[in-house]
Amino acid sequence: MHQHAEIEYQKLPENLEYEEIINKVISECFKTEKMDKLKLYISITLTIPDVIKSINKKYRNIDNPTDVLSFPMFEKDEIEAIKKQKSEIEECLGDIIISVPKVIEQAEEYGHSFERELAYMVVHGFYHILGYDHMIDSDKKEMRKKEDEVLNKLHITRGE
């Protein structure tokens, strides 16, 4: 089976539990979007607040740490074309950067498990990579529906 996530660590030790959660979620994202047979992957970096803050400042001019950042390599219509072409070339769809300490903090704050919060960050980042957004209500509803569909298929729900 083709791995759809390339996982890196920046200022954090490697963690097999994190990798299992990420691979499970990314695999389901690709399957749900009917992209699982394509040689596409997403680069995922797990890091700490200082690192994500500097990336946020550099690329978004926001001088604060955040939970997740997504950097797509393609526009939404380009991804649709890639899906139709069924290219044999391995390509990176984009980068997701996740602050693990922020995931831990938010899991406690929202009263659910670390697994649920990390899974949500991954699926949220994935849909940003595919060109979805949540700036206006109609787009937000569409994105949330897709996120919930993936998490529900994996039986990862709020409060868990």
Which DSSP string do the residues of 136-160 spell out, in sequence order?
SHHHHHHHHHHHHHHHHHTT--TT-
Question: Would 159 be classed as within a structural domain?
Answer: no
Question: Would 160 be classed as within a structural domain?
Answer: no
Q: Which two tokens stand for residue 89?
A: 């070339």
Q: Which two tokens stand for residue 22?
A: 């990420």
Each residue's pLDDT expressed in tens, for the chain with a length of 160 residues: 578 999 999 999 999 999 999 999 999 999 999 999 999 999 999 999 999 999 999 999 999 999 999 999 999 899 988 888 877 788 999 999 999 999 999 999 999 999 999 999 999 999 999 999 888 888 889 999 999 999 999 999 776 5
User: Could you tell me the residue range of the domain that residue 38 belongs to?
Assistant: 5-153
Question: What total number of domains does the chain contain?
Answer: 1
CATH of the domain at 25: 3.40.390.30
How many other C-beta atoms are found inside a 10 Å radius of the C-beta of residue 52?
25
